[in-house]
Amino acid sequence: MSVNPALVVCMGVSGAGKSTVAMSVAENCDLLFLEADDFRSESNKQRMASGRALTDSHREIWMQSICEALTKSQQQGSNCILAHSALRRVHRVQLRELGFRTLFVHLYGDPDLIARRIGQRDNYFMSAELLNSQFEALESTEDENDVVCVDVSNDSVEVETSVSRLVDEFVNRKL
């Protein structure tokens, strides 16, 4: 009996460290890395850069593209890690329904810390002014048993190491 491939979603608001942690974990755990921002349309990036939040209709095509890429990976039996905000429960449900064994790693931190991180970025398409809208859009994961919360206020190496251990155990768990 073959085990379904694993999908790990590093989730959280912009600036939480999703891409950095996911890239590190991908390398440490030999997972295919996907960056959700790579699937955004240029018009959505421009909208966000101008300080205008995306609506659910703006996110629909983006989510379809992500799900199509993940479906191909799932059919090839690839274990994947996705850096994705996953702020909305409906998006988390979409990702769960792709046929992977799924784990969400919710990277969270104090809004002031996250804002400082965004302020230090160069050439990032999302306006720092949208951070509050991201915190407002983040729907609770409290009753979702496949979500593990990780505080990003700790040392970045410590966060990456602990998430790598967690993911390695999840991916290599035999059903």
Site of tokens 């206020």: 153
What is the per-residue pLDDT across 82-129, written as a single tens digit (0 to 9) for each?
A: 999 999 999 999 999 999 999 999 999 998 888 888 777 665 555 556
Specify if 1 maps to a domain. no
Short-list 146, 155, 29, CA closest to 86: 146
- Per the structure, the complete domain to which residue 50 belongs is given by 6-171
d(CA 49, CA 10): 22
Least confident of 32-41, 56-65, 115-124: 115-124
What is the per-residue pLDDT across 120-147, written as a single tens digit (0 to 9) for each?
A: 766 555 555 667 778 888 999 999 999 9
Distances (CA, A) of 130 to 113, 125, 169: 15, 11, 35
Specify if 133 maps to a domain. yes
Specify if 155 maps to a domain. yes
How is residue 104 annotated by DSSP?
A: E
| Number of domain units in the chain | 1
Residue 1: predicted pLDDT: 41
Specify if 90 maps to a domain. yes
Count the neighbouring beta carbons within 10 Å of the beta carbon of residue 132.
13
Here the tokens at position 142 are 């409290």
Specify if 146 maps to a domain. yes
Specify if 70 maps to a domain. yes
CATH number for the domain including 137? 3.40.50.300
Task: Give the list of residues 6+ apart from residue 34 with CB closer than 8 angstroms, or none.
Answer: 66, 69, 70, 73, 80, 81, 82, 83
Residue 118: predicted pLDDT: 77
Specify if 135 maps to a domain. yes
